[in-house]
Amino acid sequence: MDVPSNNLVIGRGEANRRLRLADRFLPTTNPLTLITMPPAQPILGAAFLSGDVGTEQALAVSRFADDARCLADNGRITATKARELEEALTREAARTGTPAFLLTNRVWFLVSVARISRRSAMSVSTHPNGNLSRESRDASLKYLRATTEPGKELDILVVGGGVVGAGSALDAVTRGLNVGLVEANDWAAGTSSRSSKLIHGGLRYLEMLDFALVQEALQERGLLIQRIAPHLVRPVPFLYPLTKRWVERPYVGAGIMLYDTLGLTSGNSRGVPMHKHLSHKGTMRAAPSLKDDAMIGSIRYYDAQVDDARLVANVMRTAASFGAHVVNQTKVIDFLREGERVVGAKVQNQEDGTEFEIRAKQVINATGVWTDETQALVTDRGQLKVRASKGIHLVVPRDRFQSTVGLILRTEKSVLFVIPWGRHWIIGTTDTDWKLDKAHPAASSADIDYLLGHVNKVLKRPLSREDVEGVYAGLRPLLAGENDSTAKLSREHVVAHPVPGLVVVAGGKFTTYRVMGKDAVDEAARALDEKVPESCTETIPLLGATGFKAAWNRRNRTADESGVHVARVEHLLNRYGSLTQEVLDLMAESPELAEPLPGADDYLAAEVVYATTHEGALHLNDVLTRRTRISIEAWDRGVSAAPVAARLMGDVLGWSDTQRDNEIANYLARVEAERLSQQQPDDVTADAARIGAPGIVPLT
């Protein structure tokens, strides 16, 4: 029977839901109290246990006003937490002399039913709402240590905190598995923060006739733009220059037509406009800084771009919000074995040097260019072989040449992109074999000259070294083959099960991270005793994606309400999506956080604090290099911002003066080492200069 509801408070459906719950769990409570209560009223939590909480439905759960994060986003809590809430309610009843079930004069009850299975009863989220704070990291470490106790092992332990590791963790946890993840450094500290920052199918792979790879990547591009991460992935136009009359336009045009068509085959929207042929006049109008004789015309087509490190942190936070236990600065130093079977890993907390064991039914090795090294801890038989290919990129100010579009240029080895990037251009990339230090690949003077030489072939005003604001180098994990040239090695991925208990995923492209994670979990799930649901990550938006378009549409109102300029609001929306309000709240609480960082006007002090409280940043380098891109976008590469950012982080993390000074000194040494490496003539000398800077700053 329908019950009238207070439409100013809740709708009819919610009113009836609360009435049913009241009938079931609180028969002595007036149902109308539950139906019409103001949701903003402070709430006292209550838990009512019935039956075996380890196996069946258990409880009606509410929450304290001051303990809103006691429940995971999926509504699951442990039996221990349920008992804590029940005891708290009992204490409150005793203090006020009111029967526990009749506190309605003082307390507004909000009751919901939570299902607690064997797994969820022991797998309460240690990262409520996906917040990766220092405290939540400590909670995850404690949880992972406890996996050595009988019955508490993980279903899956993921090794590697890059985009594939994060994607694997998200895929596994959204199938209902109990998941942990460890990363030796920071999220995306390796390859995943040093890409070309494109989400694309790869035009050059069409020429290699690798249609399946291109199709898969374009399907993922559409999903990312339309559903998974519209706040982070957005379309970007490129010109493909034509230099030969008659023959080249139909040949290239057919290829780009196929490229656009393959993007339609997934059944999802492509998310980007179709290509368009431009005359010489149209080309010059789109890119006035190009030489008049550099091309006879062009074809404009669309791909997409992303802040790669931000996407990885966002995937990691989303996985954590579903209950994954993720920790950075935790290095695998060995694998645990029972006979031939891998049953977990021995790890070292890089922050304090302590070592402990993590037990898991299956381990997924998603360590990218370090795949060979991590596999070697287990076996030298049947290994996947991964070859590192170095790619460097230059960052130059946007005003150095005029163009409304990016460029894709053919080179003798591969292709070169000129990519719009906010107030900058990213120019890259090279594709050369790298056999030196994998943690800190270095760009040499020869690499920089190579890129400048090729882009200057089409620019009226050549770029010089003085125009280069930032330089970064990364390594692609390519599946090794017989080719001497890394430019011709496969970008497809492979999943293998070299020994029982260990799954290895390697190769692939940044764009297809979700598919790689799915395939890795599929392989691990086949070895689990229970039936595991199919992957559902193609339907799951990342944190900040839901409501992004609505938030973008009301950005002017948000600016008026917050007192922050609309350009700043747009900047925040393009980085945090619908979570932007959390950053604005920090500024409302502490107005000084609305100030831009010295030497990096695009970024606000609040973003440093948010990176530390919500995104797992533990060191200054994490913030200036990955949570923001100050290290490559600022003229001084973040030297001016470092002291201010260190103070803000230190206030949150409780750094001593010595630790703060060490963090600043470490960052400055890194900047100096990179500058020195970029003056060296070749890879060997550049590598020697770069590895002179320390990596992690130990706690003091």
User: How does residue 394 score in pLDDT terms, banded at 50, 70 and 90?
Assistant: very high
Q: Which long-range contacts (CB under 8 A, 24 or more apart) does 412-421 make?
A: 413/485, 413/487, 414/204, 414/487, 415/203, 415/204, 416/451, 416/454, 416/455, 417/196, 417/198, 417/238, 418/455, 419/196, 419/197, 419/198, 419/236, 419/305, 420/236, 420/305, 421/197, 421/305, 421/395
Angstrom distances, CA of residue 182 to CA of 58, 165, 317, 534: 32, 9, 14, 24
Angle of CA points 195, 605, 189, to nearest 5°: 25
Give domain 548-690's CATH superfamily. Answer: Alpha-glycerophosphate oxidase, cap domain (1.10.8.870)
Amino acid at 41: Q
Residue 39 pLDDT greater than 80, yes or no: no
pLDDT (0 to 100) of residue 40? 27
pLDDT (0 to 100) of residue 208? 78
Residue 549 pLDDT greater than 70, yes or no: yes
Q: How far apart are the first and last CA of the chain?
A: 65
pLDDT (0 to 100) of residue 480? 77
Q: What is the pLDDT of residues 355-392, one digit of tens each?
A: 999 999 999 999 999 999 998 898 776 567 889 999 99
Per the CB < 8 A criterion, the answer to whether 426 and 394 are in contact is yes
DSSP state letter for 535 = P
Both structure tokens of 414: 């591969």
pLDDT (0 to 100) of residue 212? 85
The stretch 618-643 carries a mean pLDDT of 98
pLDDT (0 to 100) of residue 491? 57
Residues of the chain with CATH 3.30.9.10: 237-302+387-486
C-alpha 612/C-alpha 163 separation (Å) is 20
**Strand 406-410 with 234-242, pairing:** parallel
Both structure tokens of 605: 């002090």
Q: Does the predicted model carry a pTM greater than 0.85?
A: no
pLDDT (0 to 100) of residue 414? 77
Per the CB < 8 A criterion, the answer to whether 602 and 641 are in contact is no
Q: Helix axis angle, 683-690 relative to 657-677, nearest 10°?
A: 170
Return the minimum-mean-pLDDT range out of 139-148, 478-487, 645-654.
Answer: 478-487
pLDDT (0 to 100) of residue 383? 67
- The yes/no answer on whether domain 128-191+310-384+491-539 falls in CATH 3.50.50.60 is yes
- Domain 237-302+387-486: give its CATH architecture: 2-Layer Sandwich (3.30)
Residues of the chain with CATH 3.50.50.60: 128-191+310-384+491-539
C-alpha 324/C-alpha 316 separation (Å) is 9
Please spell the DSSP secondary structure of 211-262, one letter per residue: HHHHHHHHHHHHHIIIII-TTT-EEEEEEEEE-SSSSHHHHHHHHHHHHHHH
Q: Tokens 């240690």 belong to which residue?
A: 126
Residue 541 pLDDT greater than 70, yes or no: yes
Residue 548 pLDDT greater than 50, yes or no: yes
User: How does residue 696 score in pLDDT terms, banded at 50, 70 and 90?
Assistant: low
Best CA proximity match to 629, nearest among 584, 654, 597 = 597
Helices (H), 26-78: 31-36
Residue 112 pLDDT greater than 90, yes or no: no
Per the CB < 8 A criterion, the answer to whether 181 and 127 are in contact is no
| Range ranked top by mean pLDDT from 11-25, 73-87, 282-296, 477-491 | 282-296
Question: What average pLDDT is seen over the chain?
Answer: 83
DSSP state letter for 534 = P
Kindly tell me the burial class for residue 152, based on how many C-beta atoms sit within 10 Å of its own C-beta (0-12, 13-18, 19 or more).
Answer: middle
Q: What is the pLDDT of residues 445-461, one digit of tens each?
A: 999 999 999 999 999 99
Identify whether 429 is preceded by a cis peptide bond (ω within 30 of 0).
Answer: yes
pLDDT (0 to 100) of residue 694? 67
The stretch 46-61 carries a mean pLDDT of 28
pLDDT (0 to 100) of residue 187? 98
Best CA proximity match to 221, nearest among 164, 309, 300, 306 = 306
pLDDT (0 to 100) of residue 477? 92
pLDDT (0 to 100) of residue 88? 59
Residue 74 pLDDT greater than 50, yes or no: no
Both structure tokens of 574: 């393009």
Residues of the chain with CATH 1.10.8.870: 548-690
The stretch 68-73 carries a mean pLDDT of 30
The stretch 84-108 carries a mean pLDDT of 47
The stretch 510-518 carries a mean pLDDT of 96
Residue 559 pLDDT greater than 70, yes or no: yes
pLDDT (0 to 100) of residue 479? 86
Q: What is the pLDDT of residues 178-189, one digit of tens each?
A: 999 999 999 999
Share of the chain above pLDDT 90, in %: 69
The stretch 589-607 carries a mean pLDDT of 97
